[in-house]
Chain A
Amino acid sequence: MSLFNKLKESLSKTRQNLSQRVGALLTGSSQLDASFFEELEEILLTADVGARTSMELVERLQQEVKTRRITEPAAVAGLLQEEVSRLLGEEGRLCWSPTPPTVILVVGVNGVGKTTTIGKLAYRLHREGKKVILAAGDTFRAAAGEQLAVWAERAGAGLIRHQAGADPGAVVYDALQAARNRRTDVVLVDTAGRLQTKVNLMEELKKVRRVIEREVPGAPHEVLLVLDATSGQNALSQAKLFHEAVGVTGIALTKLDGTAKGGVVLAIGNEMGLPVKLVGLGEGVDDLKEFQPRDFAAALFSDLSSI
């Protein structure tokens, strides 16, 4: 199944809600009046795009409609897709170090799916013939290490793990040493989930980053923030504070297979310019895909193009 189809299938629930409403709006409205744009804003709001970005998006649309002298509601569909693609930016590709190992640090709040994402990523990299080590940096949550161990086995990856309660910096240090000795291509660093407002936990995360910087020059090559597609505007705060602490390079958007719209990535793209690099589309081991903004936008609004 092509990525587009997979996305389309996963987003079908999303589409049903969003696109059907947009579709109904576009075909149902006979003219582009104030109430048309008001309703469009409502639709974006329900998709978790957020008040500010929704308003900006609608304003830009209104302007485009004026300058291009568009009178038909149906013609707005294309415009909308254009704007959404613009906000989501470039296609997300992971950065690779020219000299191995490539180090990817994975961060996020509790329960967004960091460990699962790492497991899926490791599985994919392993299938691409890369040698992977997982660093079990979540030494806090009960059984987090065990969870990662199960994934390491599934994905055919190595695992560096300490006892519960150990210093995550030390785990990472050992993992990087092991990577050097075993000629590993990629080190995926799992970290404990933490709310972005907990100062001491964010300091701990900074330390993990410092250890990586010191041990592998130029690393970490990616700092992935894992976001739950179900989350609302707090994801913006997550993106800001994690970025401040450890310099996020990209977003992995998980749980897109539910009815949640993940529209908050539009707000993040708009306000911070952080790209989405990976999307999680299910619980299966190969349900992690590279993010394609055009496809994402197209899948979101695919019903519109037929109007």
Chain B
Amino acid sequence: MAVFASLAEKLQDTFKKLRGKGKLNEADVNQAMREIRLALLEADVNFKVVKDFISRVKERAVGQEVMASLTPGQQVVKIVHEELTALMGGSESKLNWSSQPPTIIMLVGLQGSGKTTTAAKLARRVLQQGRRPLLVAADVYRPAAIKQLQILGEGLKVPVFSMGTTARPLDIARAALEHAARHGNNTIIVDTAGRLHIDEEMMAELAGLKEVLKPHEILLVVDAMTGQDAVQVAGSFHQQLGLTGVILTKLDGDTRGGAALSVRAVTGCPIKYIGVGEKTDALETFHPDRLASRILGMGDVLSLIEKAQENLDVEQAKELQKKIRQQEFTLEDFLVQMKQMKKMGPLEELINLMPGAGKMKQLKNLKIDPKEMLHVEAIIQSMTPEERRNPSILNGSRKRRIAAGSGTRVQEVNRLLRQFEDAKKIMQLFSEGGGKKKKIRGRNLFPF
């Protein structure tokens, strides 16, 4: 996830200058604050929020706290990190479950923020927790909105309650409650129509829905790419409905997502989930502290470890290590290793989680085409077991056969072999425990 990547870079540049200093004077701090301000503004954090943030950080930075510390630069980083975390809500926040079922969740927001997709994602999550969700299609205005929810529900095997486009949303809500009671659904997720926060009639409809449903959660769905207006939108929804939380969508792009800070600051509501993709499993719990770390380029090691634990087979990893030590690492192992990495998600996301990755030039513009990985897989799978174990027997005719078999060209086969050799050398180095650091010719360690 490239969230906040550029902001992290900017702040890192600023702090690099500060870190070298033994003592900070007010001019130093002012310089850093100016750059932080600009970076936050470019990240679409609301102007007023930035102003408050800067003044809070500055107050602490030029005060006692910093002067007394041995490394003032580090201290400023720490303060910015703490304040960012605090601004985003401290610790993560869970859904409020009603002690008496059903738990009712209402999704609201502007047009195109992603309510319908999010409703399905939530339903999936709830289903996985062993609950019995019911999706309610209360968007009777947008063409095919109901159909969209029905298709998504079908895919998840979650029932979708709808009454067509002629019924009034209030009647749909009432009927949905009865339906849920009859069918034993203990979680009701209501998808409402997108609307402008200044559309009085439509906002009144939401207030009416709230009255009928008495929801335990009213979640505002906000597009992470939203600009300065996020404050107006969130503020006005909150004022009229009393939100209980926020879901931030479309965070899988290159948006810096400053809206997260703005929305949180103006409503005081926690961000409960983030949407990181179009498929129904792309919903994640929001971790303010991790995101703050990522902003500061400290890397989100926790998320990385979690992903690895979820997806890596420990036994396999041990086996692999042994093989590397004994120089028995083959193309077959290479393939296994690749598949494991693939399970952990797109490589760009993993790289963004690594500390310092933001500063590595060769990684910065790295875009990995999943298709290229498929090619590599196809090439290796077109080899005989003997060839995979011992690539040195590959002559021209074998390579031509492999290229034809995998639908690639001989050049690609050659490239893969070179990269495999490079990777092998690197692993050798690592396993030797940082002995002599040899220069390695190949620049691409991975074949993709």
User: Which residues of chain A have a CB within 8 Å of any CB of chain B?
Assistant: 13, 42, 45-48, 50-52, 109-113, 140-144, 146-147, 149-151, 164, 195-200, 203, 228, 230-235, 237, 255, 257-261, 264, 283
Contacts and interface: CB of A to CB of B under 8 A. Distances in A.
Interface in B355-404: 367-371
A146 B147 contact: yes
A195 B367 contact: no
11 contacts: A46-B46, A111-B250, A143-B144, A143-B145, A143-B150, A198-B253, A230-B110, A230-B226, A232-B225, A234-B44, A255-B110
A51 B112 contact: no
Interface in B1-54: 2, 38, 41-44, 46-47
Nearest to A145: B144
Given A109-B253, A142-B147, A146-B143, A45 B228 contact: yes
Given A45-B41, A140-B278, A237 B254 contact: yes
Nearest to B257: A234
Nearest to B275: A110
A110 B147 contact: no
Q: What secondary structure prevails in chain B residues at the interface with A?
A: loop
B162 to A, nearest CB: 12
B176 interface: no
Q: Which of A228, A230, A257 has the most B CB atoms < 10 Å from its CB?
A: A230
Contacts of A255: 110-112, 196
B151 A259 contact: no
B71 interface: no
A199 B367 contact: yes
Contacts of A143: 144-145, 147-148, 150-151
Interface string B262-292: 0000000000000000100000000000000
A231 B253 CA distance: 13
Contacts of A260: 227, 229, 232
Interface in B129-159: 141-145, 147-152, 155
A200 B47 contact: no
A226 to B, nearest CB: 10
Contacts of B143: 146-147, 149-151
B258 interface: yes
Nearest to B115: A111
Contacts of B196: 255, 257-258
A257 B196 CA distance: 8
User: Chain B, interface size: which category?
Assistant: 35 or more
Nearest to A48: B227
Contacts of A144: 144, 148
A232 B250 CA distance: 13
B198 interface: yes
A200 B369 contact: yes
Given A51-B42, A140-B278, A197-B2, A232 B197 contact: no
Contacts of B192: none
Nearest to A255: B111
A152 B37 CA distance: 47
Contacts of A113: 111-112
A174 B145 CA distance: 26
Contacts of B44: 48, 232-234
Interface of B: 2, 38, 41-44, 46-47, 110-114, 141-145, 147-152, 155, 196-198, 223, 225-230, 232-233, 250, 252-256, 258-259, 278, 367-371
Nearest to B45: A232
Given A228-B112, A230-B110, A232-B228, A13 B198 contact: yes
B198 A147 contact: no
B226 to A, nearest CB: 5
B253 to A, nearest CB: 4
A233 B244 CA distance: 28
Contacts of A258: 110, 196-198, 229, 233
A146 B144 contact: yes
A51 B254 CA distance: 18
Contact of B112 (A112, A234, A257, A259): A112
A122 B253 CA distance: 30
A259 B147 contact: no
Nearest to B51: A42
Contacts of B114: 110-111
B195 to A, nearest CB: 9
A282 to B, nearest CB: 9
A45 B197 CA distance: 21
A42 B150 CA distance: 45
Contacts of A257: 196
7 tightest Cβ-Cβ pairs between the two chains A and B: A232-B227, A111-B112, A232-B44, A150-B143, A143-B148, A146-B144, A195-B253
Given A51-B38, A199-B369, A233-B42, A259 B144 contact: no
A141 B254 contact: no
Contacts of A200: 369-371
Contacts of B230: 230, 232
Contacts of B226: 230-232
A46 B254 contact: no
A45 B42 CA distance: 9
Contact of A197 (B38, B228, B253): B253
Contacts of A142: 147-149, 151-152, 155
A150 B143 CA distance: 6
A50 B42 contact: yes
Contact of B259 (A42, A111, A151, A232): A232
A257 B141 CA distance: 17
B253 A196 contact: yes
Contacts of A231: 223, 225-227
Nearest to B280: A142
B369 to A, nearest CB: 5
Contact of B229 (A109, A112, A203, A230): A230
A264 B41 contact: no
A123 to B, nearest CB: 13
Contacts of A233: 42-44, 227, 256
A207 B278 CA distance: 21
Contacts of B41: 45, 51
A266 B232 CA distance: 21
Nearest to B255: A234
Contacts of A111: 111-114, 223, 250
A13 B200 CA distance: 14
B229 A234 contact: no
A87 B87 CA distance: 35
Given A143-B148, A150-B143, A195 B250 contact: yes
Contact of B197 (A42, A198, A259): A259
